[in-house]
Amino acid sequence: MGPPGRSAPLHRVSSYPRDREASLSVTIQAVPFFVVAVGLATLALVAALRRGDLVVRLGFVMTGVTALPWAVTMVLVGGTDDLDLAHRLCLAGYAPIPLIGSGLLMVILAVVGRLDAHRPVLVCSVALGLGMLAVASTTDLVVAGVAPTPWGILFPRAGPLFGVHIGLFAAIVGWGVWLSRRSVRWLRAGLNQERFAVALSVLAVLAISDSLLAYDIGGVFPFAWLPASVACGLSLWAIGRQDLLRGNGLDVAVAVELAVVVVAATAIVVVAVTVDASRTLLMVAIGAVAAGLMVALGRTVVRDEAISGATLEVDRFVDRVVASGEGDEVGRGLAELLAKQRLATAVRVWGVLDNRWAPLHIPPGMSADLDLPDDVRAWLVSWRRTISVGDLATARLGEKRDRIDEWARKLDADVIAPLVDGDELVGLVAGVRDEALRDSERVTIDDAVLAASRALTVIGLTREIEARAELAREMELAEAVRQARSAADVRDLAGSRVVVSYQPASRVAGDLWSCVELPGGRLLVLVGDVAGRGLASALVSAAVLGAGQVAAGLLGAGATPEAVLELLHDTVVEVDGGRHRVTAFAAIVDRPGGKLQFAAAGHRGGYLVKRREGEAELMALIGRGTALGERERVVGTGERTLGATDMVVLISDGVVENRSAAGQAWGERRLQRALRELAPRAGDRLGEALLDATRAHAGESVHDDDLLVVVVAPGA
């Protein structure tokens, strides 16, 4: 007798004879579903035992476990002609189908990094799935009965809620596809996660296309085994070849727990068969308690074995960094500890020292650059714990997710540990790791990072104290230099009277002057200005001033203004790392020889003032040249005839550039007019008179540069 046609009657449980003995056999029709059942069991087992992303693992386990009853049901139904047995099997096998969708949704959301934003949806899908499971397994509202297909295999017939039951599965999976449609997340192995999620979802939807058979629409045999098999294979390939779980190796704790469950389940079944019901319940309770104790003991043993050796190494690391007091030693020690404990390789360490980020340990060939946006920095401070990049997909990152994902991708690391002390990010560790981090390994890294954070804080505070002490010494020296120059200076040297008039700026500046008697009745006069303001300028000024004195002594009778500036250039390059530039003007006043030689290195110079019958003629002393310290060395030189009553007046930029409240500079013309008016009659007070004139122009304005006038007049 051939297989029945589509008009075969619908069989319900209430119409089945209860005295018929159920029978099962193996048929060729059951083989495809047997293959699916093996694949689902393998997927669940691999996901459970393989270390890696916990949420993805849980999603695959849930998918495999909830889909396995359907596959086993189809295997058993394919080997029986008992309608009552087939119906009861279908009630159990089809009941968890919506939960399959929840498992797939969990995988999709974790893979594309949307789980934190859609946890409520996942929770609701599980709740609805459990509700439909209860309805489907206890009533005929979902599976109303069974009937043979044209090829003879028994298949469920739709109840009133069958469409809702299957539609819920499709809706849950479809929601996951919709959420992942624009997700482009990064995986180190290069798997396109969006395509994987979509492919898995499409295969899942194809697997429920057989539901049309329940409505007697199309088809002759259920072919859900084909897309289900492909989905299992794709998932196993992604886990094994594409590192979808972002980790590998056996999860020993889970293996122990699984073994305990198998043993306990076997024991319970044996007891249930051999003793009465009351004793069975007692044995189940005892078995559950014993299993819990064994699991707890297994986890403790595994964790203690992993931690015991690492704790000693962390203690040694703490002693090492505390004794060193050096940031580089902290970075090197931390990298060696993580490598020795097999926690991470290619470890890079950065730290904040002297208020700036600096590389503390960078392996050869790796980049020391660190881009740390403010929002990522704030998130690292709030997170504080060791980060496995594989966990970012399931972390609650909110609006910062895209920025943090992009930053982690650029950092190119598998493990990231922020070094946080208090509310300050004082360092960062990034390393490579092929396996997912276990809890015990995170504890070890966190302990080491905490020690490194505190060590860097102590080192930073120590450096700050030393820097403040050094700053105090510099301030004392700069103040001494400032005080030494703040009063007028009058000297009679080599037939000339040198009168220095000086007013310091509101901030420490770097104007300098010097006069040294040379052999042959000559006089070396040096003025200059260090670029910039503050203590560093004053210190450079003092160094150059001392070098000028030394240069005069070294050159002796052969001294020329140009030779003096050449020697000062070398001093400027060497002092303070060559970061400052100094403009300078050197003049040799030779009254016995009746001449004035001068050389300029970027300085404005001054004037040769010739006094005749109550009038003054000005001759500018200008020489082209570059500032001392510049890479290109250019010195402008010149020579003038020096009369018996002539004066040399050298002036700093601050005098000419002194500004009024309206912002108007005193200027060169006012200087020249003042010189012509004051030079014939001011005598030794010429410099002070010039300063009075420029101060009167500035009024109440605060001058931000030194005011310096050096007058070299004939001796008394």
At 195, the pLDDT band (50, 70, 90 cuts) reads: low
Phi, psi at 47, each rounded to 5°: -65, -35
Q: What is the pLDDT of residue 598?
A: 95
At 298, the pLDDT band (50, 70, 90 cuts) reads: very low
- Helices H / strands E in the chain, number of each: 20, 18
Q: What is the pLDDT of residue 190?
A: 42
Plot region of 96 (φ>0 → left; ψ -120 to 50 → alpha; else → beta): alpha
**Encoding tokens for residue 349?**
């360490």
- Taking 80 as the threshold, does the pLDDT of residue 197 lie above it? no
492 secondary structure, DSSP code: E
Q: What is the pLDDT of residue 13?
A: 39
- Taking 80 as the threshold, does the pLDDT of residue 541 lie above it? no
CATH number of 23-248: 1.20.1070
Q: What is the pLDDT of residue 661?
A: 84
Helix axes 535-555, 561-574, angle to 10 degrees: 140
Give which of 204, 131, 128, 142 is closest to 173, Cα–Cα. Answer: 204
Instruction: Name the pTM for this structure.
Output: 0.47
Under 8 Å between Cβ of 91 and 156: no
Quick one: average pLDDT of 423-433? 88
- Taking 80 as the threshold, does the pLDDT of residue 18 lie above it? no
Q: What percent of the chain has pLDDT over 70?
A: 76
Quick one: average pLDDT of 691-714? 86
- What does the alpha-carbon distance between residue 86 and residue 211 come to, in Å, rounded to a whole number? 16
**Highest mean pLDDT (candidates 105-109, 242-246, 261-265, 693-697):** 693-697
Under 8 Å between Cβ of 101 and 173: yes
Which tens digits make up the pLDDT trace of 584-639?
Answer: 999 999 999 999 999 999 898 999 999 887 788 999 998 778 888 888 888 889 99
Under 8 Å between Cβ of 366 and 345: no
- What does the alpha-carbon distance between residue 97 and residue 481 come to, in Å, rounded to a whole number? 88
Buried b (16+ CB within 10 A) or exposed e, 127-162: ebbeebbebbbeebebbbbbbbbeeebbbbbbbebb
Would you call 183 helix, strand, or coil by DSSP? coil
| 658/576: higher pLDDT | 658
Quick one: average pLDDT of 360-388? 86
Q: What is the pLDDT of residue 164?
A: 92
Give which of 43, 44, 48, 46 is closest to 253, Cα–Cα. Answer: 48
Same fold, 23-248 and 487-714: no
Superfamily of 325-463 according to CATH? GAF domain (3.30.450.40)
Give which of 431, 457, 425 is closest to 337, Cα–Cα. Answer: 431
At 7, the pLDDT band (50, 70, 90 cuts) reads: very low
Under 8 Å between Cβ of 539 and 560: no
CATH number of 487-714: 3.60.40.10
Which tens digits make up the pLDDT trace of 383-413?
Answer: 888 887 766 765 677 778 888 888 888 888 8
- Taking 90 as the threshold, does the pLDDT of residue 650 lie above it? yes
- What does the alpha-carbon distance between residue 525 and residue 644 come to, in Å, rounded to a whole number? 18
What's the one-letter identity of residue 576? D
Q: List the chain domain ranges.
A: 23-248, 325-463, 487-714
* Lowest-confidence segment of 10-14, 263-267, 568-572, 658-662 by average pLDDT: 10-14
Quick one: average pLDDT of 194-198? 65
Which tens digits make up the pLDDT trace of 244-274?
Answer: 776 667 777 677 767 766 676 566 556 555 6
Under 8 Å between Cβ of 415 and 388: yes
